[in-house]
Amino acid sequence: MRTRLDSRGETADERLMESAVLAEATRTPRAAAAITVQHVSKWFASADGPLHVLENVDLSVPAHGIVAIVGASGGGKSTLLNIISGIVKADTGRVCINGVPAEEFSKRRDVSYMFQEDRLLPWRSALGNVEFALEAGSTARNERRVRASAALELVGLTGFEDAFPYQLSGGMRSRVALARSLVLEPCILLMDEPFSRLDAQTRSLMHAELLRIHQLKKMSIVFVTHDVEEAVILADAVVVMAPRPGRVREVTPIELERPRDPTEPAVTRYIQHLRALI
């Protein structure tokens, strides 16, 4: 089932066909898609035998779009993100990045991954942590510094280049982690609950910051979250995963203008609808 809610919360019969078409456009692979996931399944070994984590997952992320993945714990959300990133290999099915099968995709720097933990190196400054992302390649030292400084400026941390992680607040550390993901100038950004450890006010600031950067850079973003409100505030479409084995229960397009106020009735209706599915 795929459902669409308008700004009045209407779900009249005459609108169901249009809803299905819009949702299918989000799921169906097409030329413009940045990411397509086709019939992906995954098992992990366990003491009790094979653990079926994902089952026949299909998903499409349009170029420049923002897609959130939500669902109950254990539904395979992070595993799906790891398969998209190439960290984990699917047992069946395939993933394509910009139309290229993942196993043949050579431009891995076009895809950045922001983890739940900021994973900053405590002995490195903010600038050094961002530069670290460039050190595996052939980027010259001077260029690394220039690009890292520009990335910190992009996330609003000019003046904190020499600060060490212990000198930064949680929100500032998240900004450094985001800068490290952006310094590679990716066309796709994957995020696994990147703001879950932040307080509500700081998380709201980071939402605004992410949307600002997305508007500037036009990246495709896929993020996992347990926070349905966060999904509705940020995403163009929300993928709801059913419990293990994880599978797509519904894709809900969020057809509201940004910025979105979580207290607005239209936003609240989306939140309530998605929570009912989980």
The full set of domains in the chain, from first to last, is 13-277 (3.40.50.300)
Beta-bridge partner residues of 239: 69, 251
How is the chain split among helix, strand and coil, in percent rounded to 5? 40, 25, 40
Give pLDDT, residue 13: 43
Q: Contact at 8 Å (CB) between 166 and 160?
A: no
- Beta strand 111-114 pairing with 51-62: unpaired
CA distance 5 to 220: 23
pLDDT in tens, the chain (278 residues): 455 565 455 544 444 444 443 444 444 434 469 999 999 999 998 888 889 999 999 999 999 999 999 998 888 999 999 999 999 999 999 999 988 888 887 777 789 999 988 999 999 999 999 999 999 877 888 999 999 999 999 999 999 999 999 999 999 999 999 999 999 999 999 999 999 989 999 999 999 999 999 999 999 999 999 999 999 999 999 999 998 899 999 999 999 999 999 999 999 999 999 999 98
Pairing of strands 66-71, 220-224: parallel
Specify the 3-state DSSP secondary structure of 119. coil
Residue with tokens 């394509």: 96
Q: Strand, helix or coil at 28?
A: coil
SS3 99: coil
The whole-model pTM stands at 0.85
Where does residue 119 fall: left (phi above 0), alpha (psi -120 to 50 degrees), or beta otherwise? Answer: left
Task: Tell me the residue type at 116.
Answer: Q
pLDDT given at position 208: 94
Between CA 69 and CA 214 the distance in angstroms is 18
The predicted pLDDT at position 2 comes to 54
Half-sphere exposure of 235 (CA within 13 A, CB side): 29
Distance, CA of 226 to CA of 191 (rounded, Å): 12
For 2-25, the DSSP string reads: -----TT----GGGHHHHHHHHHH
Residue 183 host element (H or E): none
SS3 state of residue 275: helix
User: Quick check: 180 and 149 in contact, CB under 8 A?
Assistant: no
Walk across the sheet containing 33-44 and list its strands.
Answer: 51-62, 33-44, 92-97, 100-101
